[in-house]
Amino acid sequence: MRDFNQGATTNLSTAKKVAIISKPGKPELAAILPTLLQWLRAHEYEALIDTHTSVHLKGCKLVEREEIAAQNPTFVIVLGGDGTLLAAARALAHAKIPILGVNLGSLGFLTEVALEDLYPTLEAVHENRCGTERRTMLHCQLMRSGKCIAEYSALNDVVAGKGTIARMADFDLFMNGVFISNYKADGLILSTPTGSTAYSLASGGPILAPDVDGFVITPVSPHSLTNRPLVVRDSGQF
């Protein structure tokens, strides 16, 4: 079970709500969800479901993904692939709610629980025999004229890209107000250890162990051979 909020503490045996987030368009959910709901009710959990889950499951409280955190569920079950889990992590970024990822996708780097292991894992969670694994997240703010016009949370990475297709961009990188480097590239990726196996890796970046306290800065198609990926501490501001 993944806990994407450092410092989170949750007693899984006291609260009685579990939220279910599902990948849209997965026909196997029609067979999976009724049995899952039966297990939850047998263990005295109230099921909260998102819109995509409600297509296959009736009689449960419907809650939009962005509002699930406000319901304070004990944990969240994500049925899908890594993309579904990334979306759930963004929605729950500040809520300190553990996420149980069940792999219905093709890759499953993040959704490690196979479908056949779902109920043994749920039993372990219910009996407090399942540990949590914390992952670092990024918080990004887009500034214009000294004002924040947009902000996002990300489990994998934040990417600064160019505005035109055939034009190289210049990126000045600062950390804690100190100039680090200038990159001439198609883009610049700031990746967490979790995201080091995603876009950063495809652009030549290194793989970091999930518990490394660092970020990876990777240029996308850089102009110069001297512009290489850089690993820095995750306590800085960029």
Given the DSSP bridges, would you call strands 147-154 and 138-144 parallel, antiparallel or unpaired?
Answer: antiparallel
* Domain boundary, last residue among 95, 116, 134: 134
| Number of folded domains that form the chain | 2
Average pLDDT, the chain: 87
Q: What is the pLDDT of residues 213-230, one digit of tens each?
A: 999 999 998 987 767 788
Domain containing 32 equals 2-134
The answer on 37 and 14 residing in a single domain is yes
| Residues 26 and 119 occupy one common structural domain | yes
Positions annotated as catalytic residues are 82
Together in a domain, 17 and 113: yes
Q: What is the pLDDT of residues 122-159, one digit of tens each?
A: 999 999 898 888 889 999 999 999 999 999 999 999 99
> Which has the closest alpha carbon to 218: 176, 157, 133?
157
Tell me whether residue 231 is exposed, middle or buried, using C-beta atoms within 10 angstroms of its C-beta: 0 to 12, 13 to 18, 19 or more.
middle
26 in the same domain as 129:
yes
Tell me if 238 is assigned to some domain.
Answer: no
**Which among 83, 105, 134 is the end of a domain?**
134
Q: Which residue type, as a one-letter code, is found at position 116?
A: E
The residue among 134, 153, 176 that closes a domain is 134
- C-alpha dist (Å) from residue 98 to 7, 132, 144, 145, 153: 12, 7, 34, 37, 16
Question: Are residues 152 and 130 part of one domain?
Answer: no
pLDDT digits (tens, 9 = 90+) for 69-101: 999 999 999 999 888 999 999 899 888 899 999
pLDDT of residue 107: 65
Helix runs in the chain, H state only: 29-42, 51-54, 82-91, 118-126, 199-202
pLDDT per position as a tens digit, 103-117: 986 666 677 899 999
Task: Assign residue 110 the CATH number of its domain.
Answer: 3.40.50.10330
- Asked if residue 215 and residue 181 are part of one domain, the reply reads yes
Query: Residues 129, 48: one domain?
Result: yes
- Shared-domain flag, residues 67 and 125: yes
Q: Quick check: 190 and 138 in contact, CB under 8 A?
A: yes
CATH code at position 217: 2.60.200.30
